[in-house]
Amino acid sequence: MEDGKMGWRLRGNDSRLHSTAMKHFALALSLVIAGTGWLRAEENQPMNSIYDIPLKDIKGQPASLATYKGQVLVLVNVASKCGYTPQYTGLEALHQSYKDKGVRLLGFPCNDYGGQEPGTNEEIVQFCSTKYNVTFPLFDKLHCKGAEQHPLYQSLTGKSSPFPGDVAWNFEKFVIAKDGTIAARFKSGVKPDAPELVAAIEKELAK
């Protein structure tokens, strides 16, 4: 009889232990599920800020757009042997007009379009400074499209961009707001002094 009672007590203990174990298992499972959800949420976060994208300046030194955080930027893919190359004159004028007002014009040499930027970085600097008196910052030659597309242009033209689609030719222009978002995009034929480009810059400056 005592053995029976003892057996009953053991079975009761087993039941309580089983219940406690199940509670612990449920808690652990909920934490795993919550953790998995958190990881998925992290995976779905937007791409890093445009300021976080590693660049190189025209001398091959590490650089980034973080240097210009809080300013309005105009990013242009440039080339030395293009029909639009004379836009360098207007781009430099734009730079001179706005450099003290919180606007930075930045040039990104690219040889993707008709092989119209074949030179070395040194040759590009020499051409721009002697032919067009360019003083705005230039960066290391990069790819705007294709398998080797630079992360900067992935950000500017990718599916998450407000203006998606590959850059079609040299001298396209992107206006970047003070917070690093893409505010406007203009095709190659839009000249640096075009009213619509100037208006987009002024709009972002006023914010």
CB of 103 closer than 8 Å to CB of 205: yes
Q: Is 128 a catalytic residue?
A: no
- Set 82, 110, 128, 144: catalytic member: 82
Q: Which residues contact 201 (CB under 8 A, 6 or more apart)?
A: 72, 74, 98, 103, 175
Catalytic sites, residue numbers: 82
